[in-house]
Structure 1
Amino acid sequence: MSHTNTFLRAALLTLAALASLNVQAQSFGDIPESQRERLLPQIEAATGSTDTQQEAESNTSWQTGTYGPLLPEDQKKQLTPFGVELFTGGFRGLRADGLNPDYRILPGDQITLRLWGAVELERVLPVDAKGNIFIPSVGPVQVQGVSHNQLNNLVRSAIRNVYPDNVSVYTNLQGVQPVAVFVTGFVNQPGRYVGVPSDSILYLLDQASGIDEDLGSYRNIQLKRDGEIIANIDLYSFLLNGELSHPQLQDGDTLVVQRRGPAITVLGDVSKPLLFELEEGSALAGSELVSLAPLSPGVSHALIRGKRGTEPYAVYQPLENFSSASLANGDEVIFLADERSSNVVVQLEGAYLGRSYYVVPKGTSLLEVLNAIEVDPQETAYESVSLRRESVKEQQQRALEDSLRRLETTYLGASSDTAEESAIRVKEAELISQFVKEARKVEPNGRLVIANEGKLVDVRLQDGDIITLPQRTDSILISGEVYIPQSMVYVPGRSVSDYIEAAGGFSQHADDDHILIARQNGEVRDAGDIALRPGDQILVLPKVETKNLQIASTVSQILYQIAVATKVALDL
């Protein structure tokens, strides 16, 4: 147990970093009197033009890694061939019936013939092995290879050679002979699949569960008949232009997907990492790849890595120069939004007048932006300005998760020497598991406390910062472990105990030794250290119900840290 306690004390020191969830900057100086009137006179300097906002966002996202889907190393895990979405079951449910106007008649098909007038006849005529139908009193008529659209004219012409007058002719293709086609090569489920002669090869490939993502070619698919290649099919023509043509299928045909040929990998600032296959024996120009790849807005450069002969090859160039580059098999092209902007974008929230977004030069300080913000001093609690910053929020989340993981490892993985100790461990595990489950639901706010007791720090702004100008209020919020959580009107002279008593008093789970005051600017202090003021929140933390004093102390301290970070009291 002593080893565990030592480890927990070390873990608690780590958890102290959670205080950064509510980082409090050092005071810079009193807010000037002019700023107390309106947070400094409004001016227009240093705000820039809003049409540079997209450029500013692109710049910052490349620096912080938030632009584009993933870094190239992670993107490689999601790399798929261009066109892989073709085979998701969409074609196999659209089987043709073979009765379209362009269908070419084959032996085994059946044709309905009706004659009326001088001669009357109604029959279903099969197309024989020689491609003929036999019409009584007329004889054989060759129809193999004739399109469905041309059939009626052909038969009418043959009948009028015998009955030139007063005979009307009607034909219709009643049914077509199914065909069985072998689908093999680099497909997921090679086999023999049934269709009709006018089916697209996409229907048959989809029946075979599509092309093998790792090995199959989308540009080299062969249709074979009697051992001869009768068509070479490139699916890129269909993917890019909607064009797909091949001879009508016949029974016994074989569809062979060849091994994938030369290919180029595209990563970086693209909506999806993809692998593009080259035409056999040809190179690909950079301009062609740009037209194929789904580039994200703001891409400015391209990095080419690969080999030329046996030597490693790498070049980094602007996108306009990349257009003339010649790409080779195995090249990896990483597109990047690598233009550095001189501006950042900040947002306002809360009580203010005017616009909500400002585009300002890099290095602009908070006070410079506040100079351009007009407020009503009766409505805005200007002494409680704070910032929310995304990078701080991400660090907070990682720190919290790491601390909880260490807590789980310490208590849930500990061994027991006796049955009594084992029973205690079970109860401890239940408590810790419940606590960790609730703690993981908490989302850090990323708030940077910059105003404290009438003093303001003039920090440099970062792209994406959100400046909070809270609404002035005359209320006090009482929450946490009280019987009736509620808001009350602030009355000068009333103590924390008075407000808690007015809220019904402490609940049975309350820890009356851990009462916090959360300020509008994000600052959280012990109730005994500061006096109440309008807009404050009184937060009563829960008591950890366990006879194990070490667990109670540890979890209580973590609860305190989370409350400081997020103004949330976890219910255990």
Structure 2
Amino acid sequence: MLALFAVDGRAADESGSGTFNAPSYSSTPAASASAPDSSRLQQPQPGVGQRSLGRGAAPDKSSGQGNGREGVQRRDDPAQRRIELPPARPSEFERFVETATGRQLPVFGASFFVDAANRPVAADSVPVSSDYTVGPGDEVLIRAWGAIDVDYRAVVDRNGQVNLPKIGSLTVAGVKASELERHLRAQIGRLYTNFNLSVSLGQLLGVKVFVVGPARLPGVYTVSSQGTVLSAVVAAGGPGPNGSMRKVLLRRNGAVVSELDIYDFLVNGDKSKDAQLIAGDVVVFQPAGPRVALSGALDTPGIYELKSAQEPMRDVLRYAGGTPVLTNPNKVLVERVEPARMPAARYVEEFKLDEAGLQRPLRDGDVLTLLPISPQFANAVTLKGAVAQPLRYAHKPGMRIRDLIPDKDALVPPDFHRRKNLLVQSQETEEPVEIDAERPGVAPGASANPQANLDRSGRSAAERARRVEDRTVAERAKKAPAALFEELNWDYAVIERLNPDLSTQVIPFNLGKAVLQGDPASNVELLAGDVVTVYSQKDIRVPVAKQTRLVSVEGEVGAPGVYQLLPGETLPQLIARAGGFTRQAYVYGLEFTREDTRRRQKENLTEAISRLETLAATQGARDAANRRDESGDRSASVNAAATQAQMARLRRVEPNGRIALELRPDDAAIGTLPEVPLEHADRISVPAKPGFITVAGAVVNNNALLWKPGRTVGDYLNQAGLDEAAERSNMFVLRADGTVLHAGDRRGFLGFGGIESQSMQPGDAIVVPSQLDFETWGRALVRNLKDFSQIFYQFGLGAAAIQTLRKN
């Protein structure tokens, strides 16, 4: 049995045809200073910076050391096996194409050689190809047992023979690796019988070849015995800027034995012309032939070399992988150079990409531009807006609105069904239902960055926002009036049409008459390219009489529930329609909330917090600038901490959108209510008359207290007891009707007529804030005196020093 493996630690080249060596330059300072560039390449000298993969190759001693160790490049170091290709300068044609197209196009196939050269050569054993021909210098491992016992490593001598003990000389040169075992078995079988034989190849002799012509790195290379022309081409970094990929010659003993077209390998994988190298072979790069450039709507734009003076466009496009389906077949542009043409040498040809166009010849200097297809649809009608499926639909002759929107089901968006299904879901399996009012459309805890949300949840931020919105609307619909379906504008929809003269025509029509009533006058005929838009009442507001508005009435009324508003209906009218007030109704404490008001309150609160943060930062900077003894003065830091705590509490405040109706405490009839026009999603809650008031904040008894007629704010403060940190001058009263009474608004003389003399009503609340600055006037005086003493002390030292200088 024959093991077809090379065990010398060498790897195959990138083409799979064998191993190769590239020249490396000395690492000494002098050599580094004279590193080659793309315009002048140095020929590596034998034994100096040249690595050999063959047996018996001399080690690299370019470091100048005499022991032959320091300069040796280790085979097991992948970094030492890299080929550092110098940057290639663009050719004249590449610069010409850049000026013509506005972009620098790559040379087709050049990246293959750069990538192959920059990869480290693996140090694993590599299989020997079956058609490898054994030659002088190769090592053959022979093992026989049975009638004869042989375990021997033999090297093929110059005569092509191996000398085996007890057997003699056997000729193996010229034998293919796949036939080597059978060949040796036949020769040994002439002398012995009844034996077993195993043959494998050991180290293979490297061969020295020459690479000349306009290569990227011309020079002398030692490649593996399995190396081919393509191995040497890869080792040399491929052709240079002016080298050809279509014609690489292999010269042997003064004659051309093979001609390699690299395009055959790159495009078709054809290596039939890739001949195996022997010692002394010369690989000759030819100058580049005619070149053309392909740009525009194709997958592999670049610069391509022609095989002959002219080639059909079909063949050139085949090099680029063909034309994609998105290429416009009706218009192709070729910029051509014609030196003898007047008045200019450059002109443009235009033709179709049909059979005749594919046969058109391309020649040297042509720049071919493929155009993308137009995004225009030939027979499409677009339906968009508040519809079930906003899509492009196929247009048919005589098509009308009813053909595009056959019934009302085509106008029900999928959001309605999703929100409707969420009404019966009891478990939270998705995102939280609340929406961050400061970042509409972004779920709480979600990042404003869409990509971050996508990484976190596996879906886009837009999808997460839609899911949160659907769930929020559904949750509100469980508790409050909230329409799951966005009402349509049945009176108006529009067709947008582009006329042949490129003017835009807008054709309105009545959606309700066309879809619901089948009115022929509203069933407008459609043309290809029309865009039909259906609007909701949110997109274009309709008259109040045509809006579906829902309001909830709760509490002490005759018939609490959700009511659909009538056109122009006011608060007293709706209360009357709901059965009026009950005997237990506390009209003064009626809560009237509106969603729009809640949003405005939230915006105003956010703006106020922002102003407070700016003022706090300014005050902190002023305190820091005026502070002289930080270790002894901690009041500023305490005040700053208290301010931050107050702002943190303000951020947690959630406005409820309540509108104060400014009623009198004794109002109890419907006629006392203001004539406020109602809006969609308003909420009216009529509480029962409470029997208590609350006192909160810096008080000892922070609790609800029994309400008694005639008692004032001061009475309840005495009953609750003020805390030591209470700031009496900033306390306020929250009335049951939603109004606020502040201590600064009621300043009496000597304590009479102030806020503490105001009567309390059932449901009112007294709020006493805490002080933000706990520094007493005595402590402030001591701190100021200390600051002045420091100044006086420093001034006294200065005066003493001046006096001492005068005396001297």
Question: What's the TM-score once normalised by structure 1's chain length?
Answer: 0.51
Q: State the alpha-carbon separation in 2 of the partners of residues 119 and 89 from structure 1.
A: 50
CA 1:377–1:125 in 2, change beyond 3 Å: closer, same or farther? Answer: closer
Q: State the alpha-carbon separation in 2 of the partners of residues 248 and 490 from structure 1.
A: 91
Alignment partner for residue 184 of structure 2, among 155, 158, 183? 155
Q: Give 1:105 deviation, angstroms.
A: 0.8
Aligned residue identity for 2:295? L
> Equivalent residue for 1:500?
603
> Equivalent residue for 1:418?
none
Aligned residue identity for 1:317? F
Aligned residue identity for 2:411? V
Q: 3-state DSSP class of the match of 2:202?
A: strand
Alignment partner for residue 277 of structure 2, among 249, 253, 257? 249
Q: State the alpha-carbon separation in 2 of the partners of residues 88 and 471 from structure 1.
A: 63
Larger Rg: 2
- Alpha carbons 2:494, 2:533 under 8 Å: kept: no
More deviation in 461-470 or 121-130? Answer: 461-470
Alignment partner for residue 332 of structure 2, among 282, 286, 302? 302
CA 1:498–1:283 in 2, change beyond 3 Å: closer, same or farther? Answer: closer
> Equivalent residue for 2:349?
315
Q: Once the two structures are superposed, what CA deviation does each residue of 1:163-203 show, in whole Å capped at 9, x if it has no partner?
A: 3x334333221221123433343333334344312134444
The total of aligned residue pairs comes to: 358
Alignment of 1:38-437 (within 5 A): 75=101, 77-90=103-116, 93=120, 97=126, 99-163=128-192, 165-212=193-240, 214-245=241-272, 246-280=274-308, 283-293=310-320, 294-298=322-326, 299-300=328-329, 301-307=331-337, 310-311=340-341, 314-320=348-354, 321-337=356-372, 342=378, 346=382, 348=384, 351-358=386-393, 374-376=410-412
CA 1:279–1:496 in 2, change beyond 3 Å: closer, same or farther? Answer: closer
More deviation in 291-300 or 339-348? Answer: 339-348
Q: Give 1:326 deviation, angstroms.
A: 2.2
Q: State the alpha-carbon separation in 1 of the partners of residues 99 and 400 from structure 2.
A: 36
Alignment of 1:482-561 (within 5 A): 491=594, 494=597, 498-501=601-604, 505-508=608-611
- Alpha carbons 2:382, 2:390 under 8 Å: kept: no
Q: Give 1:219 deviation, angstroms.
A: 0.9
CA 1:76–1:190 in 2, change beyond 3 Å: closer, same or farther? Answer: farther
- Alpha carbons 1:98, 1:198 under 8 Å: kept: no
CA 1:200–1:89 in 2, change beyond 3 Å: closer, same or farther? Answer: farther
Q: Once the two structures are superposed, what CA deviation does each residue of 1:45-102 show, in whole Å capped at 9, x if it has no partner?
A: xxxxxxxxxxxxxxxxxxxxxxxxxx99785523122222322434755668462222
Aligned residue identity for 2:109? G
Q: 3-state DSSP class of the match of 1:151?
A: helix
Aligned residue identity for 2:336? G
Aligned residue identity for 1:323? L
CA 1:365–1:187 in 2, change beyond 3 Å: closer, same or farther? Answer: farther
Q: State the alpha-carbon separation in 2 of the partners of residues 456 and 348 from structure 1.
A: 11
Gaps of 5+ in 1: 1-70, 381-451, 475-488, 512-531, 536-572
CA 1:111–1:466 in 2, change beyond 3 Å: closer, same or farther? Answer: farther
Percent identity of paired positions between Structure 1 and Structure 2: 24
Q: State the alpha-carbon separation in 2 of the partners of residues 102 and 310 from structure 1.
A: 54
C-alpha RMSD of matched pairs (Å): 4.8
CA 1:93–1:359 in 2, change beyond 3 Å: closer, same or farther? Answer: farther
Q: Give 1:455 deviation, angstroms.
A: 8.9
CA 1:303–1:277 in 2, change beyond 3 Å: closer, same or farther? Answer: same
Q: Give 1:221 deviation, angstroms.
A: 1.4
- Alpha carbons 2:208, 2:220 under 8 Å: kept: yes
> Equivalent residue for 2:580?
none
Aligned residue identity for 1:322? G
CA 1:264–1:107 in 2, change beyond 3 Å: closer, same or farther? Answer: same
Structure with more relative contact order (C-alpha pairs < 8 Å, separation 6 or more): 1
Aligned residue identity for 1:319? L
Aligned residue identity for 2:289? G
CA 1:500–1:119 in 2, change beyond 3 Å: closer, same or farther? Answer: closer
Question: What's the TM-score once normalised by structure 2's chain length?
Answer: 0.38
Q: 3-state DSSP class of the match of 2:234?
A: helix
- Alpha carbons 1:217, 1:260 under 8 Å: kept: yes
Q: State the alpha-carbon separation in 1 of the partners of residues 279 and 234 from structure 2.
A: 18
Q: State the alpha-carbon separation in 2 of the partners of residues 464 and 150 from structure 1.
A: 75
Aligned residue identity for 1:335? L
Q: State the alpha-carbon separation in 2 of the partners of residues 94 and 345 from structure 1.
A: 59
- Alpha carbons 2:206, 2:224 under 8 Å: kept: yes
Q: 3-state DSSP class of the match of 1:303?
A: strand
Q: Give 1:261 deviation, angstroms.
A: 0.5
Gaps of 5+ in 2: 1-96, 417-488, 499-503, 505-528, 540-548, 550-591, 615-677, 682-808
Aligned residue identity for 2:352? P
